[in-house]
Chain A
Amino acid sequence: MEAPDENKLAKRKKRNQFIAFGILKLLSYSIVAILVIILSFIIYKGIGVISWDFITQMPEEGMTKGGIYPAIIGTLCLVGGSMIFAFPIGVLAAIYMNEYVKDGIIKKIIKQMTNNLAGIPSIVFGLFGMSLFVNKLGFGDSILAGSLTLGLLALPVVIRTTEEALKAVDNTFRHASIGLGASKWETTSRVVLPIAFPNIITGLILSIGRVSGETAPILFTVAAYFLPKLPTSIFDQAMALPYHLYVISTSGTNIEESRPIAYGTALVLIIIVLIANLLANGLRKYFGNKVKMN
């Protein structure tokens, strides 16, 4: 066999590399492009209606005028409420699974169940929430029922990211701590958790993003079609941004006229998620530095 011409070979290698990287580059840029297009579309359509009044006033004239204040507050309540419920339970469950349960059939079953929970369509969560929290436990259509339902939805995300965060903590830290006579709980709480915490925050970010945009789970558990007043207790109904968006786009009093408000609402929703992400990112950085300093 003749040895391949060095020059030709080099050229061919170069060309193949160019094509391969070109395709990869194109694909990753197109993801960015899609995001940019969606965002700029929403911003373009929605920025016109955004004003101080829009975010601080009640809806007026059959939701074709006025603001979306109660929906913003409602969404914030639901996000906060669901996190209060899902975050501690999810984190503790993940700690238990990762640090305490021995490898084996039980761990596998719990894990599989968590994954299955993540795969259940959100409308099913809504139905379940309605029958359990709204009817059976008698919370009625309320922020409490909605938060609990959303919390269930967020739970697998929190559990999975917390588990990943705990797994990322090198075993040598655990061994060093246990080798000094620390108990498993001391090791977990004083060494493992502080190291994992910045990454656990990531789970919080992801679940906030997921929860704040969900419509189906709040449909039958909390969301009010039109409620021009703020909730005063966790047993009140509330408006929420995603549901408000749905309402004024499909069954409002005048869909055409409320179109700008719909885009405005979408923009506000995106901004809230963005702020939550930035905040959580900041927290992660802060705790990341603190872990090193402590």
Chain B
Amino acid sequence: MYKIESKNVDFFYGASQALKNINIAFKPNTVTALIGPSGCGKSTYLRLFNRMNDLIDNTKIGGQILIDGEDIYAKGVNVDSLRKKVGMVFQKPNPFPKTIFENVAYGLRVNGITDKKFIEERVETSIKQVVLWDEVKDKLKKSAFELSGGQQQRLCIARALAIQPSVILMDEPTSALDPISTAKVEELIYELKAKYTIVIVTHNMQQAGRVSDTTAFLYMGELIEYGNTKTIFTNPKIERTQNYITGRFG
């Protein structure tokens, strides 16, 4: 059983086609890296899985995306529940201008949870999951802006984990971070794999190599190659993939 299945997915911004007939099946508890040059459609593709592209006017999707076997673009799908199941971490750390505690509690609150004890426990668990607890446990009531960029990004991951998703989408989660913070986030991704299915967009080839099990290479809206990360990186079937990975273009 696959966690996410993308069947003949097309995507249009107005008249221009951003994704062409993409077929990928994502196994549960794996990390999949989406790589490709800027503008290849990898972020657009990622944002289809939690229907984030719905926010952009004048777009159209073709084909099917199934999560846990259900078509998430079918009529009558509750988008808010879908987004509860599919968490997202963004390119720049974007904690809300609230306290550290409230940042993590936010997702619970908007999903109707009011039990104070439950929220406190869940916040603590989530922050512990991202290995941030020791650094912030004494300043939960302080603004999240007081944290460093790396800490903020881990807090944003905790925020996504708090509502217990089963899929986590990461859109270049370390592109704004220094090498040490990047290493911490990568380590975290590796650990989170045990409980979640992770799809990560990255421009960093080494990162893709380090954290992912499978890799998809997109170019000009098309899926050029998809497979085991090791195979893609050491023995790609298609020349263009090899050229991209070795830095000859892109």
Contact = CB atoms under 8 A, between A and B. Distances in A.
Contact of A102 (B57, B80, B99): B57
A100 to B, nearest CB: 12
A172 B96 contact: no
A182 interface: yes
A215 B106 CA distance: 48
A292 B147 CA distance: 12
Interface in A164-216: 170, 172-183, 186, 190-191, 194-195
B106 A175 contact: no
Contact of B110 (A190, A194, A195, A294): A190
A293 interface: yes
Interface stretch (B122-130, B156-164, B195-203, B233-241): B156-164
A181 B83 contact: yes
B110 A176 contact: no
B110 A179 contact: no
Given A172-B90, A176-B159, 9 more contacts: A170-B94, A172-B94, A175-B52, A175-B88, A179-B87, A180-B159, A180-B160, A292-B97, A294-B97
A173 B50 contact: no
Among A170, A172, A181, A293, residue most surrounded by chain B Cβ atoms (within 10 Å): A181
Interface string B55-82: 1010000000000000000000000110
A195 B83 contact: no
A293 B110 contact: no
B92 A177 contact: no
B42 interface: no
Nearest to B141: A293
Interface in B147-177: 156, 159-160, 163
B110 A180 contact: yes
List the 7 closest pairs (A to B, CB-CB), nearest first. Answer: A180-B107, A182-B110, A179-B88, A181-B84, A172-B94, A181-B83, A181-B80
A170 B92 CA distance: 11
Nearest to A183: B80
A103 interface: yes
A175 B98 CA distance: 16
Contacts of B156: 176
Interface string A251-294: 00000000000000000000000000000000000000001111
B145 A292 contact: yes
Given A180-B163, A190-B106, A173 B96 contact: yes
13 contacts: A104-B57, A172-B94, A175-B88, A176-B159, A177-B106, A178-B55, A179-B50, A179-B87, A180-B160, A182-B106, A186-B110, A191-B96, A292-B143
Contacts of A293: 99, 142-143
Contacts of B142: 293
A194 B110 CA distance: 16
Which interface class (under 10, 10 to 19, 20 to 34, 35 or more) fits B?
A: 20 to 34
Contacts of B81: 181
Given A172-B90, A176-B156, A294-B102, A194 B97 contact: yes
Contacts of B107: 180-182
A180 B94 contact: no
Interface in A209-259: none
Interface residues of A, number: 25
B204 interface: no
A176 B143 contact: no
Interface in B84-114: 84, 87-88, 90-92, 94, 96-99, 102, 106-107, 110-111
Contacts of B145: 292
Contacts of B102: 294
Nearest to A179: B88
Contacts of B80: 181-183
B110 A175 contact: no
Contacts of A174: 55
B128 to A, nearest CB: 19
Given A102-B57, A293-B143, A177 B163 contact: no
A14 to B, nearest CB: 40
Nearest to A103: B57
A177 B102 CA distance: 12
Contact of B94 (A176, A291, A294): A176
Contact of A176 (B55, B90, B99): B90
A210 B105 CA distance: 42
Contacts of B163: 180-181
Contact of B97 (A172, A179, A180, A195): A195
B97 A175 contact: no
